[in-house]
Amino acid sequence: MQVTRLRLRLLLAVLVSISLVAGFIGLTPAEWNKPASSGQSKLRGVMNVSDLEDKCARIFSSPYFVRHISVCKDGPSGSCWLQAVGIAKPLSAPPEVIEKVRTVFLCTMSPDGRSLFAASRDGPIFHWDVINNRYLGDFADFLKFKRQTGRVVDLRFSRNGRWLVARHTSGEIVLCDWSKQQVVRRFTDIGGAVGSVDISDDGRYLVTTCLANSPLLWNTVTGETLCYRAPVHYRHWSSVRITSGGHMFALGSPSGSVIDIIETASEGLRCRIRGDMEIFRFRFTPDGRMLVVAREGAISIWDLCENKEVLRIQGDKVSGEVVPDTGDLVIYNDGKLYLLPHSLWLSKWGEEPESHLDAGVLENAWNDLAASDSARAFQAMRLFLSHPKQALRFLEKALVVMPLSGEETEQVLKYIEQLAAAEPSARQEAAEQLRRFGWRAFPLIKQARERHRDPEARRRCSLLIRELQSEDSHRLRELRALEILEYVRSQPAVALVRKLADGVSDAPLTIAARESLSRISPMSPSAVTP
């Protein structure tokens, strides 16, 4: 028995070494725990992992950080051994499964640490209930890919654990609602053996990329394909990650040194991250403000608000991962695993001390929110987020659509009747006056389009509605303003979003506010049903 255990320990040590060479996180359990001291300022600049010894807690177990899982056969005992971050335990499995575990190349675990998937190069996806130590079978059978040749190239949970998305070498992508354990939608992209896929926490946006093909973004609710207008060189980029709220995604290549941050709504470039080392992997922090980039010999942390690298942690084969809900940073280096508390390094949107801004500065930023240049608009968003209290007061006045007063209602009805006038100039004047009311007059204009006795008035009402619905600049400004409120996420900000969600029913702002409310308010019904 002692010989068997010794062999097993040696085999696990070898597997951990292999995982380190591949650039993945392994595990060396520690029996002591050193909590972080309070009152410390955020770490900035360049430092070595050894400099963090007195600031980190060395941890024994955590289900969140599975970067590589080695599953190996345990002789005649008929069990598998799982080697992962925070886990080193035997997993039961049938003998035929044990014979195939050596082909495992891709693993992922649900955020609650219960479900483990290990994809093999031969096609099967081994599925375990880790908590109860039960082998649940071949998950590929559950996915039911149309083309059975090849294998899964990426398998990923959303950060809240509800959604699971898998990409196959055939190009087929399967979206599962893991809370119901059912497949809800399928998508098709170009086939390839190198690619990645990710999904927002609300399940609305799915982004994927494959080597030699442009990135694709899907709205899973409507099925609409939003083809990112990517430069030709993006065809060589094969890694993609999206923020929890789905407002932006990061696109890069494991062999390159540049990461582009793309706005989902406009598909425009918000900012570009340039480094001096090759990229291994990258992850957004929970609110999307910072990007943690694992590079060769360092963890690089970029603050998108400041648009610069603010912290670099150097080490030998160092790697890191972010806790999905807390933002704590897990660091692996030289056989040790550390937890760096979020209070020591993480910056969140809207937390800086505020200074007073003149009204003209905010007004200019408000105008820039409507810019077609996504980088310019993102700079305006940074300004609002750096002054959240002022931003909230400004946005409340700028966004809230006040209902028509009795006098205004009479004016709108008068102008609608004037659309049927015989004189062209009178009809033109009426249309101009109705445009000034915007979405506030939408219900009455819509009613007139359907019921007015005069064909010309109905036609002009249809044109006015079409103009309202096609105002892209205003739509982008409203979406960006709602994104600001989501990032601030204070009680007054949530109250404002709730107020906007009760606006004119068919207005784009109302619809977007309801979607935003479903992301920031757990008590609100989800607006997403893929």
Would you list the DSSP string of 335-389? TEEEEE-GGGT---TT-SPP----HHHHHHHHHHTT-S-HHHHHHHHHHHHTSHH
Beta-carbon neighbour count of residue 389 at 10 Å?
12
Estimate to the nearest angstrom the gap between the alpha carbon of 28 and the chain centroid: 30
Q: Which long-range contacts (CB under 8 A, 24 or more apart) does 94-102 make?
A: 94/135, 97/126, 97/135, 98/73, 98/74, 99/73, 100/124, 100/126, 101/71, 101/72, 101/73, 101/126, 102/72, 102/73
The answer to whether 172 and 185 are in contact (CB under 8 A) is: no
What are 365-418's pLDDT values in tens digits?
A: 999 998 989 999 999 999 999 999 999 999 998 887 777 788 888 998 999 898
- Domain boundaries in the chain? 1-31+62-143, 359-399+472-520, 406-469
Which pLDDT score, from 0 to 100, does residue 472 have?
A: 62
- Given a cut of 50, whether residue 282 has pLDDT beyond it is yes
| H helix runs in 452-530, sequence order | 455-469, 472-488, 491-501, 508-520
The answer to whether 145 and 170 are in contact (CB under 8 A) is: yes
Q: Which residue has the tokens 């009178």?
A: 426
Give the tokens for residue 384: 């609002």
Most confident of 193-197, 256-260, 513-517: 513-517
Averaged pLDDT score across all residues of the chain: 78
Q: Which amino acid, residue 343?
A: S
In angstroms, the CA 417 to CA 419 distance is 5
Rounded mean pLDDT, 274-283: 81
* SS3 of residue 251 by DSSP: strand
Name residues whose C-beta falls within 8 Å of residue 98's C-beta, 6 or more positions apart in sequence: 73, 74, 78, 79, 80
The answer to whether 509 and 500 are in contact (CB under 8 A) is: yes
β-pairing, 87-92 vs 79-84, is antiparallel
**Whole-Å CA distances, 211 to 234, 240, 250, 293:** 9, 11, 16, 20
β-pairing, 45-48 vs 57-58, is unpaired
- Give the CA radius of gyration of the chain: 27
Rounded mean pLDDT, 182-192: 86
Beta-carbon neighbour count of residue 245 at 10 Å?
24
The candidate with the shortest Cα–Cα distance to 374, out of 449, 297, 480, is: 480
List the beta bridge partners of residue 271.
Answer: 261
**Whole-Å CA distances, 426 to 22, 244, 297, 421, 440:** 74, 50, 72, 6, 22
What are 231-276's pLDDT values in tens digits?
A: 655 556 678 999 999 999 998 876 677 899 999 988 899 999 887 7
In angstroms, the CA 116 to CA 133 distance is 10
Rounded mean pLDDT, 40-62: 73
In angstroms, the CA 244 to CA 156 distance is 13
The answer to whether 206 and 220 are in contact (CB under 8 A) is: yes
Which pLDDT score, from 0 to 100, does residue 231 have?
A: 61
Lowest mean pLDDT among 13-27, 258-272, 289-303: 13-27
CA-based end-to-end distance of the chain: 53
What are 436-477's pLDDT values in tens digits?
A: 787 778 888 888 888 888 888 899 889 888 887 776 668 899
- Given a cut of 70, whether residue 322 has pLDDT beyond it is yes
Q: pTM here? A: 0.78
Estimate to the nearest angstrom the gap between the alpha carbon of 385 and the chain centroid: 19
